[in-house]
Amino acid sequence: MADILPFIGTRYNSQLIGNLSCVLAPPYDVISPEMQDELYARHENNVVRLILGKDEAGDDNFSNKYVRAANTLKAWRSDGILIEDEKPAIYCYEQEFKMPSGEIKRRRGFFALVKLEDYASGRIRAHEQTFAGPKADRLKLLRATHANLSAIFVIFNDPKNEVMSMVSERMTDKPWEEVTDDDGVIHRLWVVQKRDFLVRLREAMQSRQLFIADGHHRYETAINFRNEMREATGRRDGNQPFDYMMMYLTNAEQDGLVILPTHRVLSRSFMSDINMKEVIAELKENFDLKDDKVDLAKPDTDGRKVIETVEKLGKKSMAFGMVSADGKVKYLTLKKGVSPVDLVDDDELQEPVKRLDVTVLHHYILNHVFVGNPEFELEEDECFYVRDVKRVFDLLKSRKAGLAFIMNATPMDQVTEIVKAGIKMPHKSTYFHPKIISGLVIRNMDCEMKKPASGKR
């Protein structure tokens, strides 16, 4: 079901750049304004100028960040800063990273072109809701550049290790590129152009169903762009460059496929009208509560303690760590015999979604217990989604936040169950770690128009 192809990658010329860490960047959607400024200052050829350019005074329909990205891409190719590989390739990719516990893990996968499929086909499934704003932004960039500047992150099942054993065989030689990012993640890239490997890998992937882990907005943007191009060109044979998109593919049955939790931090303004005595009394009806105390100035030790406690409690029942700005902690554990499905009063949600920790937190704990309104929706400035517990403690210590919920990660089996059922998960339910770095390899559609990636397209 997964139709993959090798492609002619566009990559930084390391002989001109030197250390590639100065020109690579995280995915656009995790780059804050402060990080954007830092990446701009880090190097004049940093990929941030392509994936997340700055607005400038006087921008209009003819001069804007999207047009600048397209012009920059052309200039960098012309100047030899970006160069195209001579032959179509599959790009094998390994990330080596340290878990919060200190354990070292490795995740392996590969970059390839994947034929775009409407969700109705069932060949490619999504698990996150998308929003119009980000899709409009990415569509403008795609129209201007005709390039996949960063890859969609997708997962496939490979229980017998048939696919990944082939990929791992190609990773025994010295990688073509190796770079360490700001978070200490080591990224290694192998360029594989051997025809027998490309053919065998394509055949092995044809029976696989794909699940989007990260990049839902970009995927749906690519579908919209494909439809536009079909209308504009009249080419509907499914073999055009716009019918494919660059993706990173990795298997679900590996230790290196990690989902981290995204903690919820509530603002002081939200908490100002909350009667915590009444909240605690009502929470005790369905949760067992255990008190503790932490030093917010010690996130490395005390933050780790809260996370480990929530993880331990979560192995037996649904659990949360509720941390207040004075350092007081209450561990919430769902009482024996209480079903999360019964707590979530929303007929529009299906049972697998009601069993998620994030659903119980938002629909029961926050909407029902804290606010008393099942239809309540948090504003952007009322709830912050934070991955790093150090940032959680900083927000509480500085009194920028009034309360935080330390979460457990959504288990992979829950994600798979929901995706296979064709159901969408709530916002910020998963955080696949580490992110796919941007700039290691780019896919240029205009280049493919001149050099088809694999025979007939």
User: H-type helices in 206-316, by residue range?
Assistant: 216-233, 268-271, 276-283, 304-314
- Identify the pLDDT of residue 454: 45
What's the pLDDT score for residue 240? 95
| Identity at 387, one-letter amino acid code | R
% helix, strand, coil for the chain, step of 5? 35, 25, 40
What pLDDT does 450 receive? 56
pLDDT value at residue 375: 79
Average pLDDT value for the chain:
93
Q: For residues 124 and 420, what is the distance between their CA atoms, to the nearest angstrom?
A: 10
- Half-sphere exposure for 125 (CA within 13 Å, toward CB): 21
Are the C-beta atoms of residues 151 and 7 closer than 8 Å to each other?
no
Q: Residue with structure tokens 């255990």?
A: 290
Residue of 289, 282, 298, 314 whose CA lies nearest to 409: 314
What single letter denotes the amino acid at residue 17?
A: I
* CA dist., res. 157 & res. 189, Å (int): 22
Provide the pLDDT for residue 84: 96
Residues 212 and 128: their CA atoms lie apart, in Å, by: 9
pLDDT of residue 455: 41
Q: Which amino acid appears at position 237 of this protein?
A: D
Q: What is the pLDDT along the chain (457 residues), one digit of tens a residue?
A: 799 999 999 999 999 999 999 999 999 998 989 999 999 999 999 999 999 999 999 999 999 999 999 999 999 999 999 999 999 999 999 999 998 778 999 999 999 999 999 998 989 998 888 889 999 999 999 999 999 999 999 999 999 999 999 999 999 999 999 999 999 999 999 999 999 999 999 999 999 999 999 999 999 999 999 999 999 999 999 999 999 999 999 999 999 999 999 999 999 999 998 999 999 999 999 999 999 999 999 999 999 999 999 999 999 999 999 999 999 999 999 999 999 999 998 888 999 999 999 999 999 999 999 998 887 888 888 999 999 999 999 999 999 999 999 999 999 888 888 888 878 888 788 889 999 999 999 999 988 765 544 444 3
What's the predicted TM-score (pTM) here?
0.88
Q: Are 31 and 37 in contact (CB under 8 A)?
A: no
CA–CA gap between residue 222 and residue 281 (Å, rounded):
49
